[in-house]
Structure 1
Amino acid sequence: MPVRPTLDDDQRRARLARRHRLAPGTAADRAEQVVDDLVAVHGTDPATVFLAVAARLTAPGTADTERALYADGTVLRRHGMRKTLFVVPADLAPALYASTTAKAAAAERTRLLKDFAASGRDAAWTAAAEAAVLDALSGAPDGLTGSQLGELVPQLRESIDYGVGTSYQAAQPVGMRLLRLLGMEGAMVRRRPLGGWTSSRHRWVPGPPVPAAPSAAERAAAQAELAARWLASYGPATEDDLAWWTGWGRREVRAALAACAVTEVELADGGTGFALPDDLDPLPTPAPWAALLPALDPTAMGWKHRDWYLSPEHRPELVDRSGNLGPTVWWNGRVIGGWAQRPDGEVVFDLLADPGHEARRAVTAKAETLRTTLDDTRVTPRFRTPLERRLAA
């Protein structure tokens, strides 16, 4: 039996540093380069997108991400993996939709129609409400917020009873459900928000024509494309990692890996990892590096199995109850602490292990750069962790 190549934790950290543009000399000039290399940047918390990109630019700031998102449209906000909102390269959007979003949106539409029908609103009522929303948007070239749409489309202000007879029964606004569905399907898309770059009050505009539901073959091809893009940035990785990141079923993950002609590799813990066949040569260890990355940063959230860069003993401080990572401090490919912004704007950090004088000096310099980037903006993560709460106070 042939011996599997070995890619140990040092190699994984070397790849992470270089491919996620965190090692010295790898910073990007433009936001598109960062988003392309990260494949997808969590967009649930608007601040994540801007701070994740800024941490990897030669001239840290938020203006270039605003340009890419709102002026040039070279990166797009789309629902994708695990039904979560991401910012992705524009050229990846079709594969994202065919591989992941279309199936999730179809399931969401089925649930919405069922819930609306249970409240006395049949499919015709829902179709009329959708048409009213899109008609309102067609007459607003600068876009409309959800609140503004509610003023123009009275159906959105109605509510339904969700989970009747269960412990989680609650009233849900029609607008919340319907606008989310139309956003998932791509019938309407988010544009520049009201307020600054941390605002989630986005203006909606009509989207491009919604593509037809992909065939099984089209879905499989798109999944292979997305898996290959992800492995090029995050490999080697396990089957579990890809299943967690994409939200696909195990059979879909295995088919996508087979379509990529991946090579099995031995990981440091003895487990089986997968890498693209032309990605087996070792990379040199980068020069020492530090980074302050935001909550939900794609590097911190890139894998299900994280022991090779996040010590299990640090997780209670840095991870919330749902498994979301808060703001993290990195040194040479490992998470060594967390950071927060205080009400007066100061960026403070706490190191959970002593990394030495060189690391402390580098982390302090990164904190000062981040403070300059934030300027007068105040950032509070949407998903807060114990360490972040304590530091912010």
Structure 2
Amino acid sequence: MPIDERTNVVPGGPPSDAPVPDAASNGIGLARRRAGATGLDGAQPAAFAGAADVVGWFGALQSQDYHPAKWAVAQRLGTGVTDAGLDRVFDDGGILRTHVLRPTWHFVAPADLRWLLGLTAPRVHALNAYPYRRSELDGPLLRRSTDLIADAVAGGNHLTRTEVAALLARHGIAAAGFRLGYILMHAELERVICSGPLRGRQHTYALLEERVPQAPHLEREAALAELVRRYFTGHGPATVKDLAWWSSLTRADISAGLSLAAETLESIDIGGVTYWSAPGEAPAPAPSPSVRLLQGYDEFIVGYRQSKHLLDLAGLASAASEETSLPNGVILVDTQVTGRWKRTVRAGGVAVEAALYRPFDAAETAALQAAADELGAFLGVRAVVSTRLL
């Protein structure tokens, strides 16, 4: 089962081990570069031909919530991408959804799935050791369950979660709730199953060997270098501690990967903290104000631990942190968190409710409506915005 990462959705003040940059301008500069790397500055950082290119750019894109995660992909692809269209890409296996980094779901490009799992699965298994014990899932039982599931989904017989539970029950294996979740995650990490096509609104599981085309094998050192390069290229400027959080890799592994990938990256030291990124000039600032409606698990939000304070340099989110009923989405003005939002899809429309940390001026209000209109176009409905001030 995925871990609850909602504490990372809205950045608070800088953690004790993360000094604030020397000056606000340094922080804004880093945040602007990060917006460019993550594809949120209005210009694609790479030639994204489709959803797999977006997902592959990051290495993996968190998809704890499937429907909002599609919106994160669409925001990097530009106009013309629809929710239903991304469902079709997913059904066709153009992008996959499975457990591959920290114990939660991620979208992964098919070409990357095998080498990523070879690198990260042992670490995720280690993180799951206590939940496995708590759920009374020892090695023999997990292997037996995985074998039963593999046999059942072979030949394109894709099964839903409920159907997998019934299958295991017929063989005397109790599987419900968290226990079922960890049985399925184990089978995913063992490169046996992955996401299948949707069946209505239900997700299914497929045999990985049938679902994922063969791809070139990466030895461990090459995989380490590639994951380090992908992270800092698609998330930078960011720190080693950020990468450790995002990837679940050990510091020793990251150090090894960084030494192998260093020639493809550049670093800058600010306030005693080293930030790594792809080399190149900082992008020109996007037209301001630019408003983005990010889903709560967008990589721009959850891809960092040490340096997530760069999204909230004014401390607006921190000042509102006592509010417990806030929606999960994050509103950005330019690169900074300025509120929360949620969507409610109704017949013929989507209601966007915005809770603002500070008043918006006329230009920001217009940009907020434009961002909501983009969401409406993605969903194929009209967007109606309501706001309240926290």
TM-score bracket for the superposition, by shorter chain length: 0.7 to 0.9
Q: For 1:173 and 1:11, how far apart are their aligned partners in 2?
A: 43
> Residues 300 and 325 of structure 1 are in contact (CA less than 8 Å); yes or no, is this contact kept in structure 2?
no
Mean Cα deviation higher: 346-355 or 223-232: 346-355
> Residues 327 and 342 of structure 2 are in contact (CA less than 8 Å); yes or no, is this contact kept in structure 1?
no
1:229 match: 230
2:72 match: 52
1:65 match: 86
Note the C-alpha offset of 1:232: 1.0
1:255 match: 256
2:173 is equivalent to residue 150 of structure 1: no
Note the C-alpha offset of 1:297: 0.8
Q: For 1:319 and 1:104, how far apart are their aligned partners in 2?
A: 32
2:75 is equivalent to residue 74 of structure 1: no
**SS of the counterpart of 1:295?**
coil
Alignment deviations for residues 329-352 of structure 1 (CA, whole Å, 9 cap, x no partner): 112111211111247541121221
Give the 3 Å change call, closer, same or farther, for CA 138–310 of structure 1 in structure 2.
same
**Aligned pair partner of 2:36 in 18, 25, 38:** 18
2:183 is equivalent to residue 178 of structure 1: yes
What amino acid maps onto 1:135 in structure 2?
D
> Residues 102 and 185 of structure 1 are in contact (CA less than 8 Å); yes or no, is this contact kept in structure 2?
no
Give the 3 Å change call, closer, same or farther, for CA 225–376 of structure 1 in structure 2.
same
> Residues 114 and 191 of structure 2 are in contact (CA less than 8 Å); yes or no, is this contact kept in structure 1?
no
Give the 3 Å change call, closer, same or farther, for CA 281–127 of structure 1 in structure 2.
closer
1:132 match: 148
Give the 3 Å change call, closer, same or farther, for CA 319–62 of structure 1 in structure 2.
farther
Give the 3 Å change call, closer, same or farther, for CA 35–239 of structure 1 in structure 2.
same
Give the 3 Å change call, closer, same or farther, for CA 178–273 of structure 1 in structure 2.
same
Note the C-alpha offset of 1:274: 2.2
Give the 3 Å change call, closer, same or farther, for CA 82–130 of structure 1 in structure 2.
closer
Note the C-alpha offset of 1:327: 0.6
After TM superposition, the score normalised by the length of structure 1 is 0.75
Alignment deviations for residues 64-104 of structure 1 (CA, whole Å, 9 cap, x no partner): 32233221x23222322212210022222233112212442
2:302 is equivalent to residue 314 of structure 1: no
Give the 3 Å change call, closer, same or farther, for CA 308–128 of structure 1 in structure 2.
closer
What amino acid maps onto 2:70 in structure 1?
F
Alignment deviations for residues 249-279 of structure 1 (CA, whole Å, 9 cap, x no partner): 2222222222212543123x45222234xx1
2:285 is equivalent to residue 285 of structure 1: yes
Note the C-alpha offset of 1:194: 3.0
Note the C-alpha offset of 1:127: 4.3
Mean Cα deviation higher: 303-312 or 234-243: 303-312
Q: For 2:99 and 2:381, how far apart are their aligned partners in 1?
A: 30
What amino acid maps onto 2:57 in structure 1?
D
Note the C-alpha offset of 1:158: 4.1
Note the C-alpha offset of 1:108: 4.7
**SS of the counterpart of 1:337?**
strand
Q: For 1:174 and 1:135, how far apart are their aligned partners in 2?
A: 20
Alignment of 1:213-224 (within 5 A): 218-224=219-225
Note the C-alpha offset of 1:236: 1.9
Give the 3 Å change call, closer, same or farther, for CA 355–115 of structure 1 in structure 2.
closer
Alignment deviations for residues 147-206 of structure 1 (CA, whole Å, 9 cap, x no partner): 12333332577448xxxxxxxxxx96753332221122221111123334xxxx311121
**Aligned pair partner of 2:58 in 38, 51, 55:** 38
- C-alpha RMSD of matched pairs (Å): 3.8
> Residues 98 and 218 of structure 1 are in contact (CA less than 8 Å); yes or no, is this contact kept in structure 2?
no
> Residues 224 and 257 of structure 1 are in contact (CA less than 8 Å); yes or no, is this contact kept in structure 2?
yes
Q: For 2:133 and 2:160, how far apart are their aligned partners in 1?
A: 24
Give the 3 Å change call, closer, same or farther, for CA 225–156 of structure 1 in structure 2.
farther
> Residues 117 and 191 of structure 2 are in contact (CA less than 8 Å); yes or no, is this contact kept in structure 1?
no
> Residues 296 and 325 of structure 1 are in contact (CA less than 8 Å); yes or no, is this contact kept in structure 2?
no
Alignment deviations for residues 119-154 of structure 1 (CA, whole Å, 9 cap, x no partner): xx882x654443332222225x24111212333332
Note the C-alpha offset of 1:111: 7.1
- For structure 2, the residue ranges without an aligned partner over 5 or more in a row are 1-22, 213-217
**SS of the counterpart of 1:86?**
strand
> Residues 81 and 247 of structure 1 are in contact (CA less than 8 Å); yes or no, is this contact kept in structure 2?
yes
2:194 match: 189
2:340 is equivalent to residue 338 of structure 1: yes
Alignment deviations for residues 50-77 of structure 1 (CA, whole Å, 9 cap, x no partner): 1111223222421332233221x23222
Q: Percent identity?
A: 21
> Residues 245 and 302 of structure 1 are in contact (CA less than 8 Å); yes or no, is this contact kept in structure 2?
yes
Larger radius of gyration: 1
Q: For 1:220 and 1:349, how far apart are their aligned partners in 2?
A: 45
* Structure of greater relative contact order (alpha carbons < 8 Å, 6+ residues apart): 2
**SS of the counterpart of 2:340?**
strand
How many aligned positions are there? Answer: 346
**SS of the counterpart of 1:296?**
coil
What amino acid maps onto 1:147 in structure 2?
T
